[in-house]
């Protein structure tokens, strides 16, 4: 059990992490989710003991470890870059944390072979990291973290530098690899997709503060704030300020929408609405949606992403199949009103679509 | 595939070819030409084959100069590489100190060779030089015009002062290119400072170290200006290195044939030793090329 109590980290007068309190149980995949510079890496470094927090307390299994240097803690960390000792063989790389500890030769052999089995890299024992592919190099780094039997395993965007296929492959394996170890596992990522797929619990970070905590599904279905909704949405959340008047939402100009069923009890007034890209339909111009102009389209084959602009706002629509649209085409955007998230002026969620 | 016959490409290569021809190939061939002929003046040359080569390779004078040259290069490499590495490792990695250190380090490199020679020639003089006068004042017999050891010491200290900076700058460039994640990982592993150096920094710097060794070897093996200015090859022949000897032979004695043969041999030695260094240092146990990994 790792507990952070109102951790703050200032560097050169700037707050990198501000008042973060968390409690992380062993055997679960804890995701730190947030865009770059949201404080994920700083938080991981603090958890590892690489840096000291400016204020606050870190408690590991009931013991305060705030000032304890990293070498006296039992921590393993895997990075976005593939970090291995360049001049050592794969076997020696995996064995290195045990060698530092002065473990017996036979014990090391057993541990290294075990870890290599789990990660499927046994055949590369005699090679050097530079002779392996990126995915294999990262497997070596993961094996090194695994043999250490650390009580805290920190994974800092470990899949970000891998190509798509390898990422998918390792992503499904990661929970299996580390969950059995009984360690507290923290996984930092900027992709909500990864959080949804492997996270048991998710902590959304925004500008060094915790925006929300919960299961990935709960945060996805009911993001408590606009910030959380944005962090949990990929493609980016479509947002716009509106004025609710009875059963109508005024977007400005003469563009308006009819409210969804879940918004009937909402008082009239100014709000900000959020809509996920796959709930935004598109039809030919002059039908009764929001008039917009296509900025770009990205066709992936099974899906098409259409970026459209109206009144200086850019929205994204995610459609099935291939849609032939050119930049400059006039279209009509059809939001699914029953899918609108409504946030008040402070950014708090006030109306949630049924999930 | 259809081959296109277009001679435009030739014009694009021509400037480079011409330049190389005039700066390297033609002078080199002239030297080779001299090395296989003899002359009694009047621009009349006749063929002597490998005669000059045999003479040079058998001459004690060449052997002595060659050994002195090897000893000099070996000594300055043995000092400059570890010293440069040590200085690079102890330099700050960020902040204002970086620029200050880099500028200080680059200063000696900006001074022309003959000026460096003159500086040290005066600096080490017994009568007016700060170094020479002080040492003699302390009761140490230091006179580079009379004492071979003192002459060597002066040249070596001068070369170390002049060129260690280059090694430092190269090593430093290699060091700062190592991603911080490596150091973090080592800290988390609990690796010692020595292990960080041996297993992270040294392998990651192998490329720049190779370049440093090659540059320093080639430069020191061909050193001419500084010994010429400081000691003139003396006392006796104590600091007559290959290049100094070569110039004596070619210009002092005007023995064009033997001097040309010696030049060619000299040239081949530099290439051979550089190739040997390169081959040894790029063997398996050194990491090939950098990049993010």
Between B252 and A342, the higher pLDDT residue: A342
The sheet carrying A184-189 orders its strands as A75-78, A152-156, A184-189, A29-33, A201-206, A209-214
Cα angle for residues A25, A26, A32 (degrees, 5° grid): 65
Contact B190 A128 (CB under 8 A): no
How far, in Å, are A262, A290, A308, A329 from residue A285 at the CA level? 28, 9, 12, 9
Nearest to A42 by CA among A15, A76, A74, A75: A15
**Rounded Cα gap, residues B69 and B240, in angstroms:** 8
B203 to chain A: closest CA residue: A87
Residue A231 lies in a domain: no
Query: Which one is predicted more confidently, A253 or A246?
Result: A246
In the structure, what pLDDT confidence band is assigned to residue A286 with cuts at 50, 70 and 90? low
Q: What value does the mean pLDDT take over residues B239-249?
A: 81
Q: A256 and A219 share a domain?
A: no
Query: Is residue A203 included in any domain, yes or no?
Result: yes
Same domain, residue pair A133 and A260: no
Banded pLDDT at A186 (limits 50, 70, 90)? very high
pLDDT tens track for B247-287: 887 777 777 888 888 888 888 988 898 888 888 877 755 44
> Rounded to an integer, what distance in angstroms lies between the CA atom of residue A83 and that of residue A96?
13
Residues 168-197 of B with CB under 8 A from A: 179, 181-182, 184-185, 187-191, 195
**Of the candidates A200, A226, A252, which is a domain's last residue?**
A226
% of chain B with per-residue pLDDT over 70: 94
ipTM of the complex: 0.72
Residues A318 and A210 both lie in one domain: no
One DSSP character per residue, B184-231 reads HHHHHHT--HHHHIIIIIHHHHHHHHHHHHHHHHHHHHT--HHHHHHT
How distant, in Å, are the alpha carbons of A334, A346, B26, B260 from that of B33?
Answer: 86, 89, 10, 8
State which residues form the domain around A182: 2-226
CATH class, range B60-281: mainly alpha
When pLDDT is cut at 50, 70 and 90, the band that residue B290 belongs to is very low
The domain tally of chain A equals 2
Residue the block writes with tokens 């991981």: A44
| Tokens representing residue A216 in the block | 């990935």
- The pLDDT of A220-245, averaged and rounded, is 91
Backbone angles phi, psi at A51, to 5 degrees: -125, 160
B285–A contact, CB cutoff 8 A? yes
Please count the CA atoms within 13 angstroms of the CA of B162 that sit on its side-chain side: 24
Residues A182 and A259 in one domain: no
Residue B284, C-beta contacts closer than 8 angstroms, at least 6 positions apart: none
- CB-CB neighbors (< 8 A) of A129 in chain B: 293
* Same structural domain, A73 and A220: yes
- Is the pLDDT score of A25 beyond 50? yes
**Residues A210, A121 within the same domain:** yes
Would you kindly state where each structural domain of chain B is located, as residue ranges?
8-49, 60-281
Give the per-residue pLDDT at A13. 81
Q: Which residues of B touch A99 (CB under 8 A)?
A: none
- Any idea what the CATH number is for the domain that residue A282 is in? 2.40.50.140
Is A150 found in the same domain as A100?
yes
Looking up tokens 């900076």 gives: B165
Q: Is the pLDDT confidence value at B2 over 70?
A: no
Q: What is the spatial distance between Cα A351 and Cα A339, in angstroms, rounded to a whole number?
A: 10
Report whether B165 contacts B110 (CB < 8 A).
no
Q: Tell me, what DSSP letter sits at residue B290?
A: -
The closest CB to that of A100, out of B190, B203, B285, belongs to B190
Residue in A194, A125, A121 with CA at minimum distance from that of residue A158: A194
Reading the block at residue B211, the tokens are: 């370049």
- List, in order, residues 6 or more apart from A211 with CB less than 8 Å away: A34, A204, A205, A225, A227, A228, A231
Cα separation, B137 vs B143, in Å, equals: 12
Residue A327 has pLDDT above 50, yes or no: yes
Looking at every residue in chain A, the average pLDDT score rounds to 89
Give the CA diameter of chain B: 82
Q: Please choose, from the candidates B227, B248, B236, B240, the residue with its C-alpha nearest in 3D space to the C-alpha of residue B118.
A: B227
Give domain status of residue A251, yes or no: yes
Mutate to test the interface with A, among B94, B189, B201, B292 (most CBs of A within 10 A): B189
Using CA atoms in the order B123, B127, B128, B134, what is the torsion angle rounded to 10 degrees?
A: 60
A82, A137 contact by CB (below 8 A): yes
Q: A-chain residues within 8 Å CB-CB of B182?
A: 83
> Is A233 among the domain residues?
no
Q: How confident is the model at residue B73 (pLDDT cuts 50, 70, 90)?
A: very high
Whether omega before B235 lies within 30 degrees of 0, making that bond cis, reads yes
Whole-number CA gyration radius for chain B: 24
Nearest to A70 among B187, B202, B203 (CB): B187
Residue B261 is inside which H or E element, if any?
helix B256-281
Q: Tell me, what's the pLDDT at B291?
A: 38
- Mean model confidence pLDDT for chain B: 84
Among A175, A204, A226, the domain boundary falls at A226
Q: Which residue of A has its CA nearest to B184?
A: A50
Strands A152-156 and A184-189: parallel
Flag whether pLDDT at B292 surpasses 50. no
Same domain (yes/no): A131, A279: no
Separation of alpha carbons A278 and A284, rounded Å: 17
Tell me if A293 is assigned to some domain. yes
Are residue A167 and residue A254 in the same domain, yes or no?
no
Q: Round to whole Å and give the CA distance between A59 and A317.
A: 45
Same domain assignment for residues A194 and A281: no
What DSSP assignment string belongs to B7-57? THHHHHHHHHHHHHIIIIIHHHHHHHHHHTEEE-STT-EEE-TTHHHHHHH
**Residue pLDDT, tens place only, B160-175:** 999 999 999 999 999 9
pLDDT value at residue A287: 67
Q: Are residues A264 and A164 in the same domain?
A: no
pTM above 0.90, yes or no: no
A217 within domain boundaries: yes
Q: What is the mean pLDDT of residues B56-64?
A: 84
Which pair of structure tokens corresponds to residue B192?
């010692």
User: Could you tell me which residues come within 8 angstroms of residue A141 by beta carbon, excluding any fewer than 6 positions away?
Assistant: A78, A79, A82, A83, A84, A158
Does residue A244 sit within a domain?
yes
Q: What is the nearest CA distance from A97 to chain B, expressed in angstroms?
A: 5
Instruction: Decide: B178 and A84 in contact? Cβ < 8 Å.
Output: no
* Alpha-carbon gap: A129 to the closest alpha carbon of chain B (Å): 8
Contact A274, A237 (CB under 8 A): yes
* Section A92-109 average pLDDT: 89
Q: Is B75 exposed, middle or buried (0-12, 13-18, 19+ CB in 10 A)?
A: middle
Segment A256-277, tens digit of pLDDT: 888 888 888 888 989 999 999 9
pLDDT tens, residue by residue, B90-124: 988 888 888 898 999 888 888 888 888 888 888 88
List the Cα angle A110/A118/A130 in 5-degree steps. Answer: 90
Q: CB distance B287–A97 less than 8 Å?
A: no
Q: Does the CB of B286 have a partner CB in chain A at under 8 Å? A: yes
What is the distance between the alpha carbons of residues A158 and A173, in angstroms, rounded to a whole number? 12
Which pLDDT does position B1 carry in this prediction?
53
Q: Does an H or E element contain B155, and which? A: helix B148-176
Q: Which two tokens stand for residue B137?
A: 């004042």
User: Over the stretch B190-232, which tens digit does the pLDDT of each residue have?
Assistant: 888 888 898 889 988 888 898 899 899 988 988 888 888 878 7
* pLDDT of res. B4: 63
- Interface probe, candidates B183, B185, B290, B292, chain A, greatest A C-beta count within 10 A: B185
Locate the chain B residue with the closest alpha carbon to A140.
Answer: B293
Residue A22 lies in a domain: yes
- Cβ(B185)–Cβ(A81) below 8 Å: no
pLDDT at A238 over 90: yes
Chain A and chain B share a number of CB contacts under 8 A equal to: 66
pLDDT digits (tens, 9 = 90+) for A142-174: 999 889 888 899 999 998 888 888 888 888 888
Same domain, yes or no, for A304 and A156?
Answer: no
> Angle CA(A82)–CA(A88)–CA(A92) in degrees, nearest 5?
95
Residue of B nearest to A72 (CA): B190
Distance (Å) from the alpha carbon of B195 to chain A's nearest alpha carbon = 10
pLDDT at B3 over 70: no
In sequence order, which ranges of A55-204 are alpha helices (DSSP H)? 90-101, 105-119, 134-147, 164-179, 192-198
Nearest chain B residue (CA) to A82: B293
Nearest to B293 among A71, A97, A129 (CB): A129
Locate B292 and state its tokens.
């993010």
- Which of A70, A88, A161 lies nearest to residue B199, judging by beta carbons? A88
Q: Give the end of a domain, one of A202, A226, A250.
A: A226
């Amino acid at each position: 059990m790792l507990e952070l109590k109102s951790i703050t980290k200032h560097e050169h007068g700037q707050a990198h992490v501000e008042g973060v309190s968390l409690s992380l149980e062993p055997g679960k995949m804890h995701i730190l989710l947030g865009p770059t510079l949201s404080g994920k890496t700083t938080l991981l470094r603090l958890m590892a003991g690489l840096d000291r927090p400016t204020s606050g307390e870190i408690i590991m299994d009931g013991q305060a470890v705030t000032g304890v240097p990293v070498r006296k803690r039992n921590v393993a960390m895997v990075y976005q870059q593939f970090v291995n000792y360049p001049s050592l063989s794969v076997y020696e790389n995996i064995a290195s944390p045990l060698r530092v500890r002065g473990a017996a030769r036979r014990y090391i052999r057993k541990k290294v072979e075990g870890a290599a089995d789990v990660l499927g890299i046994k055949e590369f024992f005699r090679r050097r990291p530079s002779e392996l592919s990126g995915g294999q190099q990262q497997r070596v780094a993961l094996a090194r973290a695994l043999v250490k039997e650390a009580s805290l395993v920190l994974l800092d965007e470990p899949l970000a530098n891998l190509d798509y296929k390898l990422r998918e492959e390792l992503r499904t394996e990661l929970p299996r690899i580390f969950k059995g170890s009984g360690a507290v596992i923290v996984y930092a990522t900027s992709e909500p997709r990864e959080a949804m797929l492997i996270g048991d619990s998710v902590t959304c970070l925004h500008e060094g503060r915790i925006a929300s905590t919960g299961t990935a599904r709960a945060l996805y279905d009911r993001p408590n704030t606009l910030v959380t909704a944005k962090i949990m949405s990929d493609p980016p959340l479509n947002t716009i300020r509106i004025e609710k008047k009875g059963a109508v939402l005024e977007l400005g100009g003469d563009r308006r929408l009819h409210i969804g069923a879940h918004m009937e009890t909402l008082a009239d007034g100014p709000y900000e609405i959020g809509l996920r890209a796959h709930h935004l339909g598109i039809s030919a111009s002059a039908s009764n949606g929001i008039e917009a102009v296509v900025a770009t389209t990205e066709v992936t084959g099974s899906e098409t992403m259409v970026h459209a602009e109206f009144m200086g706002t850019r929205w994204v629509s995610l459609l099935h199949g291939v849609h032939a649209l050119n930049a400059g085409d006039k279209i009509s955007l059809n939001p699914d009103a029953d899918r609108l998230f409504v946030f008040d002026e402070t950014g708090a969620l006030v109306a949630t679509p049924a999930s | 595939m259809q081959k296109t016959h277009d001679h435009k490409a030739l014009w694009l290569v021509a400037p480079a070819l011409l330049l190389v021809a005039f700066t390297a190939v033609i002078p080199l061939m002239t030297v080779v030409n001299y090395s296989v002929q003899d002359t009694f003046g009047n621009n009349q040359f006749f063929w002597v084959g490998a005669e000059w080569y045999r003479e040079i390779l058998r001459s004690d004078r060449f052997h002595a100069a060659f050994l002195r040259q090897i000893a000099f290069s070996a000594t300055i490499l043995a000092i400059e590489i570890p010293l440069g590495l040590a200085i690079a490792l102890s330099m700050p990695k960020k902040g204002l100190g970086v620029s200050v250190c880099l500028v200080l380090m680059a200063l000696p490199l900006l001074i022309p060779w003959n000026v460096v020679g003159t500086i040290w020639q005066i600096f080490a003089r017994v009568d007016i030089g700060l170094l020479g006068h002080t040492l003699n004042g302390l009761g140490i017999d230091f006179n580079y015009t009379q004492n071979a050891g003192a002459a060597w010491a002066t040249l070596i200290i001068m070369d170390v002062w002049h060129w260690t900076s280059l090694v430092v700058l190269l090593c430093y460039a290699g060091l700062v290119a190592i991603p911080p994640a490596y150091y973090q990982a080592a800290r988390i592993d609990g690796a010692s400072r020595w292990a960080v150096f041996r297993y992270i920094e040294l392998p990651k710097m192998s490329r720049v170290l190779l370049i440093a060794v090659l540059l320093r070897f080639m430069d020191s093996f061909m050193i001419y200006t500084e010994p010429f200015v400081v000691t003139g090859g003396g006392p006796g022949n104590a600091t007559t290195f290959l290049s100094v000897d070569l110039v004596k032979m070619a210009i002092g004695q005007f023995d064009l044939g033997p001097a040309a043969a010696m030049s060619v041999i000299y040239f081949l030695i530099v290439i051979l030793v550089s190739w040997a260094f390169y081959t040894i240092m790029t063997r398996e146990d050194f990491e090939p090329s950098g990049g993010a990994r």
